[in-house]
């Protein structure tokens, strides 16, 4: 099924993320690497086959082409319909041309994408494909026949995927001899831009295949979440369920289709209402079928009569208007004003239904809570259920669930919601993924910051969760060390939360924010067990400060932009230990220039400067970081602990630096923090840095820089007043 918004737009792009780049610096995507086949683990991907040139197949193929065209790879799209092939190719070519015109990629890259793509009706063109994605119509029999035929052509060890929105993998791959290499990969509309993918392994899918798929999709820029096999998976019961709830609102007289569609947007944070979404996607027929099958397949001893069922309003539309029936909704630019009491009744009913639907999925155990929150907010562009409860309050959320349950007894009230209301404390989804990796020398905890919509930027919640990790590392005797990484290939951590900084209005507020970062850095740096940062992408601002508090840093090679502290472009200084730790890792002279100009270092430069300890290919960074933890633990590698003492006890004479447009007042205070620490040592320098940041939060230039960044991003320099 498709997302209810017409397009996915990330909150922050690589060029605009918080605390990111100095003006004029551009981020190069991983495609800028030297041409070589895409390799992950022991698998090499040079030929991908996409079966189906309908609504989503060409978009899936386009995303693959963007990924592997520059690596010499190719993508074959197969369909039995020449008309579908012609339409799919024309639409794909149009998107590629539009990207070249907008500057999203160079004309040569656009030509490489087209050259990598083949649209054909000949199944033999899939010969040798190492990865296959079937994207045909949602028909179980058709999918089975396709995979039975494909086995004659593709590589013997090819990974076989189905882009289904509902069907269990055990049914889809029933005709496949070796099902250990099969899984469902559920894409979301538009597939080339919406980053979410549900990965659903079947009962026979090997753990190695599942792990490889999770790594592969992350490597090519997607956000995979693992979901256990169940009809509809985790997202579609929400998408189709909120539509069913909207239909019931109409049937129960709360409003017309147009009125409910309008009010529904405010209920769960939709950009367009559920009826409008059905019109845009043509999803009414598959939704009716899906809801009825959910009713059948969700049934069990604990839930004999599941709430999910095609509502009469929907079946009546399909009976009278056919498969192409459209709902009467507001036109483009049209607005509605509903009476307050009517609007509130619709909103409350939909919120009660939404929370009931979401927690029925979470209670089933098919998906992790944090994964589910990320999936719903990113794939469906809805407000996540935990965030909604946090905004409403747990007791109000329980009231809404109980009210809906009273009217619809077959949608139960989750015990999780009751527990939150009893404690009057909303559950906070984790921004971290945690995995214990067993090695011959002991267990290594691998923690990855996962806030992909903001390139893993650090907020107050994430700092708190990382501090809990530091405590776990200290207390858990079974752990020999810790790896801290970031999700995806674009960023380790893009910086600290600029929106939190924008809310700083007093020196004490600024001090408190910086103190949280200081405390975490100190806890990691003082750990008796090794802590290693895995830098798969850029580490900027607070991200680099976090990495510098680790005992070692392993980074991806060939990154033209890896690390930097660009805070001076915002009218502030690095206040998470950056003014003190950077000169101790790279030397006082180099740090003087980097800090005062906000300049960045490439992977190669960071290695030469001593900031990182080792460079490996991007897909190997986390594994290499685990190996480095083991080497530090066993003594195979020497610890390079940061110098705690003075760097220049006899005084500091810093070289002059051209700071350009940047604030002279901020530069003066930055130099003060830098020189103080160099003379007095790390511990006193960190205290001084906090006090200097407190003073900076009183400056006009701090407000000028932060406000300018929030409004305009990093592309234009802030108009500092030097006061």
Q: At what angle do helices 369-379 and 340-364 cross, to 10 degrees?
A: 130
- Tokens 């605390």 sit at which residue? 19
User: Which secondary-structure segment (H or E) carries 67?
Assistant: helix 57-68
Burial of 136 (0-12, 13-18, 19+ CB in 10 A): buried
255 and 275 Cβ atoms separated by less than 8 Å: no
Beta-strand relationship, 117-120 and 552-556: unpaired
**Bridge partners for 162 per DSSP:** 134, 184
Q: Among candidates 502, 442, 450, which has minimal Cα distance to 477?
A: 442
Residue 602, phi-psi category: left (phi > 0), alpha (psi -120 to 50), beta (remainder)? beta
Element (H, E) at 352: helix 340-364
DSSP string spanning 233-252? TTTHHHHHHHHHHHHHHHHT
Find the catalytic residue in 525, 567, 620, 689: 567
- Are 170 and 154 a contacting pair, CB within 8 Å? no
**Annotation marks residue 525 as catalytic:** no
Query: Which H or E run contains 507?
Result: helix 507-525
d(CA 482, CA 450): 16
Q: Which residues contact 409 (CB under 8 A, 6 or more apart)?
A: none
Going by C-alpha positions, the residue among 382, 385, 345, 332 that lies closest to residue 263 is 345
Bridge partners, residue 436, by sequence: 445
Active site residue 567: yes
Spatial distance between the Cα atoms of 544 and 537, rounded to a whole number of angstroms = 11
For residue 376, give every residue at least 6 positions away whose Cβ sits within 8 Å of its Cβ, in sequence order, or none. Answer: 235, 238, 358, 382, 384, 385
Residue among 464, 358, 489 at smallest CA distance from 414: 358
Question: If you search the block for the tokens 């009744």, which residue do you land on?
Answer: 345
Report the interhelical angle of 385-392 vs 394-407 (nearest 10°): 110
Catalytic hit among 218, 545, 620, 689: 545
**50: Cβ contacts below 8 Å, ≥ 6 apart:** 57, 58, 60, 61, 64, 75, 76, 77, 78, 132, 133, 135
Q: By the 8 A CB rule, do 36 and 70 touch? A: no
Q: Which of 259, 274, 276 is nearest to 335 (CA)?
A: 259
The Cβ of residue 300 has, within 10 Å, a number of other Cβ atoms equal to 8
Number of H helices, E strands in the chain: 27, 20
> Tokens 């430069």 correspond to what residue?
605
User: Could you tell me which residues are beta bridge partners of residue 432?
Assistant: 449
Q: What is the strand order of the sheet 117-120 is part of? A: 117-120, 74-78, 47-51, 131-134, 159-162, 182-187, 196-201, 223-226
Cα(397)–Cα(388) distance, integer angstroms: 8
Taking Cα atoms as reference points, which of 130, 117, 107 lies closest to residue 65? 117
- Range list of H helices, 155-253: 169-172, 207-219, 236-251
Cα 631 from Cα 552, distance rounded (Å): 11
Separation of alpha carbons 270 and 274, rounded Å: 8
Q: What is the set of active-site residues?
A: 545, 567
């Amino acid at each position: 099924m498709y997302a209810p918004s017409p397009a996915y737009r990330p909150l922050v792009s690589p060029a605009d993320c918080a605390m990111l780049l100095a003006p004029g610096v551009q981020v190069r995507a991983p495609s800028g690497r030297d041409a070589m086949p895409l390799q992950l683990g022991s698998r090499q991907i040079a030929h991908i086959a996409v079966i189906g040139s309908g609504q989503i197949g060409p978009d899936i193929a386009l995303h693959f082409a963007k990924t592997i065209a520059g690596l010499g790879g190719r993508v074959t799209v197969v369909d039995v319909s020449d008309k579908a092939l012609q339409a799919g190719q024309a639409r794909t070519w149009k998107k590629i041309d539009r990207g070249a015109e907008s500057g999203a990629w160079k004309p040569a890259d656009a030509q490489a994408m087209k050259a990598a793509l083949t649209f054909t009706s000949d199944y033999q063109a899939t010969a040798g494909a190492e990865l296959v994605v079937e994207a045909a119509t949602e028909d179980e029999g058709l999918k089975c026949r396709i995979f039975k035929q494909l086995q004659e052509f593709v590589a013997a060890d090819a990974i076989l995927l189905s882009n289904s929105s509902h069907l269990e993998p055990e049914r889809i791959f029933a005709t496949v001899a070796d099902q250990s290499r099969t899984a469902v990969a559920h894409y979301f509309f538009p597939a080339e831009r919406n980053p979410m993918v549900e990965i659903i392994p079947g009962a026979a899918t090997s753990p190695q295949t599942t792990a490889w798929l999770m790594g592969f999709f992350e490597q090519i820029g997607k956000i995979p979440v693992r979901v256990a096999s169940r009809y509809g998976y985790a997202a579609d019961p929400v998408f189709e369920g909120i539509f069913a709830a909207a239909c019931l609102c109409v049937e129960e007289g709360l409003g017309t289709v147009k009125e409910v569609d309008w009010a529904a947007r405010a209920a769960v944070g939709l950009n367009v209402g559920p009826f409008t979404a059905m019109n845009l996607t043509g999803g009414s027929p598959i939704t009716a079928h899906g809801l009825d099958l959910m009713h059948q397949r969700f049934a069990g001893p604990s839930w004999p009569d599941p709430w999910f069922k095609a509502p009469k309003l929907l079946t009546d539309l399909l009976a009278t208007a056919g498969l192409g029936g459209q709902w009467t909704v507001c036109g483009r630019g049209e607005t509605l004003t509903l009476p307050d009491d009517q609007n509130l009744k619709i909103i409350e009913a939909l919120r009660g239904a939404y929370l009931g639907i979401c927690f029925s999925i979470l209670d089933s155990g098919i998906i992790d809570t944090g994964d589910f929150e990320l999936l719903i907010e990113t794939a469906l562009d809805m407000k996540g259920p935990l965030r909604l409860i946090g905004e409403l309050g747990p007791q109000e959320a329980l009231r809404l669930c109980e009210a809906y349950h009273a009217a619809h007894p077959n949608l139960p009230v989750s015990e999780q919601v009751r527990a939150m209301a009893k404690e009057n404390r909303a559950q906070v989804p984790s921004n971290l993924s945690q995995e214990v990796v067993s090695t011959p020398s002991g267990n290594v905890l691998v923690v990855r910051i996962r806030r992909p919509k903001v390139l893993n930027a650090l907020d107050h919640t994430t700092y708190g969760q990382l501090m809990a990790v530091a405590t776990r590392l200290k207390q858990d005797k079974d752990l020999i060390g810790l790896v801290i990484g970031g999700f995806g290939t674009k960023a380790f951590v893009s910086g600290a939360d600029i929106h939190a900084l924008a809310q700083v209005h007093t020196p004490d507020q600024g001090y408190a924010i910086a103190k949280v970062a200081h405390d975490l850095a100190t806890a990691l740096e003082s750990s008796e067990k090794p802590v290693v940062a895995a830098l798969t992408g850029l580490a900027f601002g607070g991200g680099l400060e976090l990495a510098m508090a680790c005992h070692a840093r392993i980074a991806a090679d060939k990154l033209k932009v890896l690390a930097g502290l660009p805070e001076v472009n915002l009218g502030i200084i690095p206040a998470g230990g950056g003014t003190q730790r950077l000169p101790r890792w790279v030397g006082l002279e180099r740090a003087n220039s980097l800090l005062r100009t906000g300049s960045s270092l490439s992977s190669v430069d960071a290695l030469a400067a001593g900031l990182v300890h080792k460079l490996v290919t991007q897909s190997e960074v986390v594994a290499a970081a685990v190996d480095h933890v083991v080497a530090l633990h066993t003594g195979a590698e020497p610890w390079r602990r940061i110098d705690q003492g003075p760097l220049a006890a006899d005084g500091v004479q810093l070289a002059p630096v051209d700071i350009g447009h940047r604030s002279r007042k901020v530069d003066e205070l930055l130099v003060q923090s830098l020189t103080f620490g160099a003379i007095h040592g790390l511990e006193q320098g960190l205290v001084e840095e906090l006090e200097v940041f407190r003073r900076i939060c009183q400056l006009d230039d701090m407000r000028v820089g932060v406000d300018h960044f929030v409004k305009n991003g990093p592309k234009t320099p802030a108009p500092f007043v030097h006061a």
